[in-house]
């Protein structure tokens, strides 16, 4: 198989992270050939890769087979649609869009262009520890699971993190705060282990967000009915009540 020519759109913290492992050759058959940023100075460190300041011009250039979009959230939808409509494969950082309506537009663009490959960057779903957890549940080794308490507290971010970009933790720049930013990575990996929830409970105070500060207000907790139309991963086996599936567990685990 020939190498995939990849263009990287966005050179913020996560964009530079992607560039580092790609340039180190850690993704077989994938060659980073172009970078795109609205700040030309950020691209100097990546010469002789082709520099672009216009993402739409990049996807229309015919010089890349795929792009990885690592820009602020509100740009994900439009840039993703432009790539898919140009016949360019797309990997977009999480969240794929800041709002559900925009996410549906992006999904529709992929459906219009079925020969393209479209993926969201939810890397924890394929990490060995989560694959192992899913195997233990599906195999029945843990028995019948009737309740799950999911706690992940090791991704603390200081004010310096939110102050590092004017768009972070703002409604106008990010579409939300911590739940839409790095916490979405863990919150979307959990359904892959035990299925999508039928009902969600809100058990924390409401949070008001300013550019780099968090303010809590006391409001009563509430139950939020939620019936997801589909899970992005197959639901676990039938011993995990109440959601069942016939998908077999791997013979030896991951």
State mean pLDDT over 248-252: 31
Average pLDDT, the chain: 78
Phi, psi angle pair for 136, to nearest 5° = -60, -35
Predicted local confidence at residue 214, as pLDDT: 37
Instruction: Quote the distance between the C-alpha of residue 70 and its chain's center.
Output: 10
Confidence of residue 201 (pLDDT cuts 50, 70, 90): low
- In angstroms, the CA 171 to CA 142 distance is 41
What does the pLDDT look like over 206-225, one tens digit per residue? 444 343 333 333 333 333 33
- Cβ neighbours for 248, distance < 8 A, ≥ 6 positions apart: 138
85, pLDDT greater than 80:
yes
Between 184 and 52, where is the model more confident? 52
What does the pLDDT look like over 62-71, one tens digit per residue? 999 999 999 9
- In angstroms, the CA 162 to CA 184 distance is 16
Confidence of residue 2 (pLDDT cuts 50, 70, 90): confident
Domain residue limits, the chain: 4-121, 124-225
Give the residue among 90, 150, 77 at the shortest CA–CA distance from 116: 90
Predicted local confidence at residue 200, as pLDDT: 61
- Could you tell me how many residues make up the chain? 254
- Choosing among 3.40.190.10, 3.40.50.1100, 3.30.2130.10, 3.40.50.720, the CATH entry for 4-121 is 3.40.50.720
* Collapsed DSSP state (helix, strand, coil) of residue 30: strand
- In angstroms, the CA 239 to CA 140 distance is 7
Give the residue among 144, 161, 175, 106 at the shortest CA–CA distance from 244: 144
- Cβ neighbours for 104, distance < 8 A, ≥ 6 positions apart: none
Predicted local confidence at residue 243, as pLDDT: 29
Predicted local confidence at residue 1, as pLDDT: 53
Predicted local confidence at residue 203, as pLDDT: 57
Tokens of 42: 């950020």
Predicted local confidence at residue 245, as pLDDT: 32
Quote the crossing angle between the two packed helices 76-85 and 100-112, to the nearest 10°. 10
- Cβ neighbours for 229, distance < 8 A, ≥ 6 positions apart: none
- In angstroms, the CA 15 to CA 12 distance is 5
Confidence of residue 202 (pLDDT cuts 50, 70, 90): low
Element (H, E) at 107: helix 100-112
- In angstroms, the CA 184 to CA 196 distance is 14
Give the residues across from 93 on adjacent strands: 121
What does the pLDDT look like over 111-159, one tens digit per residue? 999 999 999 988 887 888 888 888 898 898 988 888 877 776 677 778 8
């Amino acid at each position: 198989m020939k190498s995939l020519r990849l263009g990287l759109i966005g050179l913020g913290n996560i964009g530079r992270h992607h560039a580092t492992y790609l340039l180190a050759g850690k993704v077989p058959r994938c060659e980073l050939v172009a970078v795109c940023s609205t700040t030309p100075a950020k691209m100097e460190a990546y010469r002789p890769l082709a520099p672009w300041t216009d993402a739409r011009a990049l996807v229309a250039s015919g010089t890349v087979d795929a792009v990885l979009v690592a820009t602020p959230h509100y740009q994900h939808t439009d840039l993703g649609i432009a790539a898919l409509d140009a016949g360019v494969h797309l990997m977009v950082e999480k969240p794929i869009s800041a709002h559900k309506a925009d996410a549906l537009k992006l999904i529709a663009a992929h459906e219009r262009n079925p020969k393209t490959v479209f993926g969201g960057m939810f890397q924890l779903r394929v990490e060995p520890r989560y694959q192992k957890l899913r195997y233990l549940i599906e195999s029945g080794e843990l028995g019948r699971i009737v309740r799950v308490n999911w706690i992940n507290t090791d991704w603390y971010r200081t004010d310096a993190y939110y102050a590092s970009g004017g768009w972070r933790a703002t409604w106008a720049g990010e579409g939300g705060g911590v739940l839409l930013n790095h916490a979405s990575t863990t919150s979307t990996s959990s359904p892959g282990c035990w299925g999508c929830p039928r009902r969600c409970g809100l058990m924390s105070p409401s949070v008001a967000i300013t550019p780099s500060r968090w303010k809590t207000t006391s409001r009563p907790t509430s139950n939020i009915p939620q019936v997801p139309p589909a899970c992005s991963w197959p639901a676990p086996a039938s011993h995990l009540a109440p959601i069942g599936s016939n998908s077999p567990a791997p013979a030896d685990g991951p």
